[in-house]
Structure 1
Amino acid sequence: MIPVTAFAGRRVAVFGLGSSGLVSCRALMAGGADVIGFDDNARGLAEAEKAGIATADLRQQDWSKIAALVLAPGVPLTHPAPHWTVGVARNAAVEVIGDIELYCRERRRSTGATPFIAITGTNGKSTTTALTAHLFASAGYEAAAGGNIGTAVLALESPRAGRMHVIECSSFQIDLAPSLDPSVGILLNLSEDHLDRHGTFEHYAAIKERLVAGVPQNGTAIVGVDDNACQAIADRVEKAGKRVVRISVRRPLADGIYLEAEQLMLASGGTATPIASVGGIGSLRGTHNAQNAAAAAGAALALGLSTEQIQRGLRSFPGLAHRMEQVAHRGGVLFVNDSKATNADAAARALASFSNIFWIAGGKAKSGGITSLSGYFPRIRKAYLIGEAADEFAGTLEGKAPYVISRTLDVAVADAARDASAAGIADPVVLLSPACASYDQFPNFEVRGAAFRTAVESLR
């Protein structure tokens, strides 16, 4: 754990007592702060009290004596409306921050020289975080991954010389980290997501931009330039005097890192040299993973790894669960768990990676549904639709791709496995890439992916 000493001797309110909120409480207490926690959920309060964390209704507190409100990232800061704690804090001129901000302040207090790589984007940030940490760990560095990827940032060991932190940052976390200043900042891509929490795409993109804009003058900002929003961000950050490394998997670059025939190329002044190959690496299948690899390679080069070390690390990367995870081969059929594909843009990356697809899709639909995926419909042998979005998706697929409404995941797996085995085609793939949130039938994408794996394992 990282003790947060920045608030030693002062009172800090923490709202949202889920896993990251509880870690924030303990880290602040370990650093000498007087912590008072609260949650609208009785379970959170019970967990805090079990952990020895003082709790009280924050509406009844004297806010003139509170130095900061630490808000859990799942609690609305702006949209659809600020949580009531945000209004109370702002009325008392109390700053509202999150756990990433606490980490940044503690890092600067302890040793600003500790390498800190921060990663964001609409899609691919978890894989890029894990891959970047793996590249450094496989080269003999002490590298720890945390943040939005699963381990709360303050649950990691403290920053120190020789220790590297690779942190995934969601837009919610960035919004609560006004002084975010990574040594290397990575922005992969941007597409519409979380608009219920940010109001507009422009606001969402502006929040994401803060991560690379906060890189210090001696740092490196790595930005994917295959979408217009990120390309504009790269230009603005460079104009501000920061070192920018652009990455692309769609076109050659005069300066930056790009993909050419499964080879990552580093260009400078129009001259390109090879960095590493992603060909034949199952855990990095698809152009979306090539983008992740390009970003990770850019971070590795910025902090001193050789091209040989990068190639070895790419080839030994095991991949992440629920992200293009190859679950099994059964009867000549490949089963792929891409449960993390919670929007159409993420599902597009999986659909682009295979040809003969028996596609399991659906759940709690996001804005736009799957209309943007029509270019991939010829790859779909049949779709198996589940959850709340099943009828909507059926309307989109009507006349364009065969489908059946399976409603539940276990039925969809059985139906898809049967049809794929009987199809008599080369390399059939049963692909769970839902293009939807999981909340209608599962508490999160991890549980949904685990249910897919269980259903596959139970097939005869």
Structure 2
Amino acid sequence: MIPVTAYRGRRVAVFGLGRTGIAAARALLAGGASVSAWDDNEASREAAIAAGLELDDLNRRDWGDIAALVLSPGIPLTHPAPHRLVGLARAVGAPVIGDMELFASAIADTPDVTVVGITGTNGKSTTTALIGHILKSAGRDVRVGGNIGEAVLGLQPPRPGAIYVLELSSYQLDLIESLRCQVAVFLNLTPDHIDRHGDMAGYLAAKERIFANQQAGDTAVIGVDDEYTSGVCARQKARTGLNVIPVSSQRLVSFGVYALAGRLHDDLEKKSGVKTVMELARAAALPGAHNAQNAAAAYAAVRALGVSVSDAVAGITSFPGLPHRQERVGEAGSLLFVNDSKATNAEAAAQALGCYHDIFWIAGGQAKAGGIESLKAYFRRIRKAYLIGQDAGMLATQLGASVPHVIAGTLDQAVKLAAMDAADSGLRKPVILLSPACASFDQFKSYEHRGDTFRQLVTDLLARATKGDAA
């Protein structure tokens, strides 16, 4: 845990008691603050009590002594309307901040601490984990967390030379004021979370805050494969003293890092020219063009931190991958089962659909704006679709006659049907792919819960098959 002493002797409200909220409350208590912690959800309150927190209903108390409101990322700050407690905090002049701002205050007095921040619509979890893996493999003192894994305030306290590699969501970036990322990575931007930011301009503005507190000599690694981030790159290049590294998986970029024709190319050294540093096929856990961009961004980030070319390449090659991101969860003969539950929108699902042929696709849940209309170019790769969840009917309409499909309803039924059809297909390498293109909250607690359920269903299915063969 990282104690937060900035509010020692004062009272802080913490609203939203998920992973980040509980960690924030505990860090504030460890730093000498008094904490009024609350969540409107009963299950979250019970989890907070189990974690040792005392509750204080923020809807009913006087706010006159509240020095700050720490808002969990899932609570609306501006859209569709500020949460009522945001209004109460502002009425008494209490700043509304998040866990990342508490973290920034906690590390301010420790010299030689480096923060690497990673954001983007897609790929940020993989890139965060990949950067952390490369740095650890190279012998650095690294802590990885934020919007992935451990909440930032639950990580080990800072000490000189420590590197924090943090996934930063747009919700978290909306709540920062002073967090400085010595290396900031912005991968891409596609429509998502519009309900929370109002429009694409608001979403982009939140993401671009990752560069807000960078100083001369800091590094900005920016994907340039979409129009939004290309504009971001141009704006950041106009800043004096900032080291801007463009990355791409679609084209050559000068003085940057790019992946083309299955190879990773380094054009960072102005005097030595372009170097081809690796064949990306060596990185088995990073298939597809989207992962090529992730690898390019991670390579650029660690090179900015002084990691050698050979150590960077070795780390990319040895990366084991992440759960729920094209995770190979089982094989039976020629059948391959892939868990890509993290694909909660169509753009993320496109990345997986582009990596395989002869796909038996499990999709559905709570659809984002547009559903799967943008995936039509990948329909030819899909042998059959198995639709689950709240918006299965809408997805069926969008598939129309282009893709054979069935409304399976539940994930267990979809796995059963897809496995039978794939086994009977006679295809050389059929893939049963869970890449839902939808949020999970209609049937599951989270995309992790959905992916874990899929993994267990596959494990049970293969165990029964093996038992049947033995019999």
**TM-score normalized by structure 1?**
0.96
Q: Which moved more, 1:167-176 or 1:33-42?
A: 33-42
Gaps of 5+ in 1: none
Aligned to 2:70: 70
Deviations 1:187-228 (A, max 9, x none): 111011111111111101110001034322221011111010
Equivalent in the alignment of 2:403: 401
Aligned to 1:136: 135
Tell me by how many angstroms 1:46 deviates.
Answer: 3.9
In structure 1, what is the equivalent of residue 469 of structure 2? none
Equivalent in the alignment of 1:239 = 238
What CA deviation, in whole Å up to 9, does each residue of 1:260-313 have, x standing for no partner? 222111225593112333214221011111111111111110001111101111
Distance across 1 between alignment mates of 2:58 and 2:325: 39
2 CA distance for matches of 1:177 and 1:59?
A: 24
- Name the SS for the 2:35 alignment partner: strand
Alpha-carbon distance in structure 2 between the residues aligned to 1:385 and 1:315: 35
In the TM superposition, residue 458 of structure 1 has moved relative to its aligned partner by 2.2
Do the aligned partners of residues 410 and 245 (structure 1) sit closer, same or farther apart at CA in structure 2, a change above 3 Å counting? Answer: same
Inter-partner Cα distance in structure 1 for 2:89 and 2:409: 44
Q: Equivalent residue for 2:351?
A: 349
- Supply the distance in 1 between the matched residues of 2:260 and 2:51 (Cα, whole angstroms): 53
The CA distance in 2 between the partners of 1:307 and 1:336, in whole Å, is 31
How many residues align structurally? 459
- Where 2:281 maps in the other structure, the secondary structure is coil
Instruction: Give the whole-Å Cα distance in 1 for the aligned partners of 2:362 and 2:20.
Output: 32
Alpha-carbon displacement from aligned partner over 1:353-372 (angstroms, at most 9, x marks no partner): 11211111111111000000
Once the two structures are superposed, the pairs formed by residues 23-422 of structure 1 within 5 Å of their partners are: 23-111=23-111, 113-241=112-240, 242-268=242-268, 271-422=273-424
Task: Report the Cα distance in structure 2 between the residues aligned to 1:415 and 1:51, rounded to whole angstroms.
Answer: 41
> Partner of 2:131: helix, strand, or coil?
helix
Q: Structure 2 CA distance, aligned partners of 1:50 and 1:354?
A: 44
Q: Judging changes above 3 Å, is the alpha-carbon distance between structure 1 residues 426 and 174 closer, same or farther for their aligned structure 2 residues?
A: same
Q: Structure 1 residues 426 and 215 mapped into 2: Cα distance closer, same or farther (>3 Å)?
A: farther
Amino acid paired to 1:364: Q
Query: Once the 2 structures are TM-superposed, how far is the Cα of residue 49 of structure 1 from its aligned partner?
Result: 4.2
Partners of 2:79 and 2:89 lie apart in 1 by: 16
- CA 1:438–1:34 in 2, change beyond 3 Å: closer, same or farther? same
Cα distance in structure 2, aligned partners of 1:333 and 1:50: 43
- Once the 2 structures are TM-superposed, how far is the Cα of residue 52 of structure 1 from its aligned partner? 4.4
CA shift in 2, pair 1:390/1:68, >3 Å:
same
Gaps of 5+ in 2: 466-471
Moved more, 253-262 or 338-347: 253-262
| Identity between Structure 1 and Structure 2 (%) | 51
Shift of 1:137: 0.6
Q: Distance in 2 between matches of 1:34 and 1:387?
A: 43
Equivalent residues of 2:110, 2:160 under 8 A apart: no
Structure 1 residues 28-58: Cα deviation after superposition (integer angstroms, max 9, x where no partner) = 1111112221221234334444544343232
Q: TM-score, normalised by structure 2?
A: 0.94
Provide the C-alpha distance between the structure 2 equivalents of 1:142 and 1:397, rounded to a whole number of angstroms. 49
Moved more, 154-163 or 200-209: 154-163
Distance in 2 of aligned mates of 1:36 and 1:187: 35
Deviation string, structure 1 residues 49-105 (Cα, Å, up to 9, x no partner): 454434323244443432211111111111111111100011111100000111111
> CA-to-partner distance for each residue in 1:155-206, whole Å, 9 max, x for gaps?
0011111321101111111111122211100111101111111111110111
The one-letter code of the counterpart of 2:31 is G
**CA distance, structure 2, for counterparts of residue 393 and residue 50 of structure 1:** 40
